[in-house]
Structure 1
Amino acid sequence: MIALLPQVEICDNGICDLRNHPLHRTMVSIHLPGELRELMKRHGKRNIDLANLLNIDPTAVSKILTGKRVLKAQEAAAIHDWLGTAVTIDAPIATPIPIIGQVSGGNWREAIQQPIGHLPSPDPSIPKGAFALRVVGDSMDRYVEDGGTVVVDPSDRALFPGRFYVVLNDEGETTFKQFATDPARLVPCSNNKAHVEITIGDGTAFSIVGRVIWRASRM
Structure 2
Amino acid sequence: MTYIESDESDDPTAKHPIPLGGIGCFKDRLKEIMSGAGARGFARASGLSEGAIRSYLSGETFPTLDRLAQIAQANNVDPMWLAFGVTSIIEDDIYAYVPLYDARCSAGDGAWNDRCKVLVQLGFTRYSLRKKGLSPSDLACLRVDGDSMTGLLEDGDTVMIDQSRNTLEGEGVYVVLLDDHLYAKRLQRQFDGSVLIISHNKEYQPMTVPKDRLAELQIVGRVVWAGGWV
TM-score for the superposition, normalised by structure 1? 0.51
Counterpart-to-counterpart distance in 1, 2:118 and 2:184: 19
How far residue 188 of structure 1 moved from its aligned partner, in angstroms, is 0.4
For 1:177, the equivalent position in structure 2 comes to 185
For 2:150, the equivalent position in structure 1 comes to 141
C-alpha contact (below 8 Å) 1:133/1:151 kept by paired residues: yes
How far residue 108 of structure 1 moved from its aligned partner, in angstroms, is 5.0
How far residue 145 of structure 1 moved from its aligned partner, in angstroms, is 0.6
C-alpha contact (below 8 Å) 2:187/2:195 kept by paired residues: yes
- List aligned pairs for 1:5-16, cutoff 5 A: none
For 2:227, the equivalent position in structure 1 comes to 216
Give the structure with the higher percent helix.
Answer: 2
Counterpart-to-counterpart distance in 1, 2:175 and 2:108: 11
Equivalent in 175, 186, 189 of residue 197 of structure 2: 186
Gaps of 5+ in 2: 1-92
Equivalent in 116, 119, 124 of residue 121 of structure 1: 124
For 1:152, the equivalent position in structure 2 comes to 161
Counterpart-to-counterpart distance in 1, 2:129 and 2:171: 24
1:114 aligned partner, one-letter code: K
1:117 aligned partner, one-letter code: V
Counterpart-to-counterpart distance in 2, 1:102 and 1:186: 20
Residue identity (%): 26
For 2:99, the equivalent position in structure 1 comes to 98
More displaced 10-residue stretch of structure 1: 139-148 or 200-209: 200-209
How far residue 203 of structure 1 moved from its aligned partner, in angstroms, is 4.3
2:227 aligned partner, one-letter code: A
* CA deviation string 1:61-87 (max 9, x = no partner): xxxxxxxxxxxxxxxxxxxxxxxxxxx
1:116 aligned partner, one-letter code: L
Counterpart-to-counterpart distance in 2, 1:118 and 1:109: 24
1:121 aligned partner, one-letter code: F
Structural RMSD (CA): 2.4
For 1:26, the equivalent position in structure 2 comes to none
More displaced 10-residue stretch of structure 1: 182-191 or 143-152: 182-191
TM-score for the superposition, normalised by structure 2? 0.48
Counterpart-to-counterpart distance in 2, 1:214 and 1:136: 16
2:219 aligned partner, one-letter code: I
Say whether 1:206 aligns with 2:217: yes
Say whether 1:162 aligns with 2:171: yes
* CA deviation string 1:119-175 (max 9, x = no partner): 221623231220100111111112111000000110012313431111112x43211
SS at structure 2 position matched to 1:208: strand
1:218 aligned partner, one-letter code: W
Counterpart-to-counterpart distance in 1, 2:173 and 2:123: 21
2:180 aligned partner, one-letter code: G
- List aligned pairs for 1:14-163, cutoff 5 A: 93-105=94-106, 107-111=107-111, 113-121=116-124, 123-125=128-130, 126-129=134-137, 130-163=139-172
Greater Rg by CA: 1
**Paired positions, count:** 125
* CA deviation string 1:25-53 (max 9, x = no partner): xxxxxxxxxxxxxxxxxxxxxxxxxxxxx
Counterpart-to-counterpart distance in 2, 1:161 and 1:152: 15
SS at structure 2 position matched to 1:140: coil
SS at structure 1 position matched to 2:225: strand
SS at structure 2 position matched to 1:180: strand
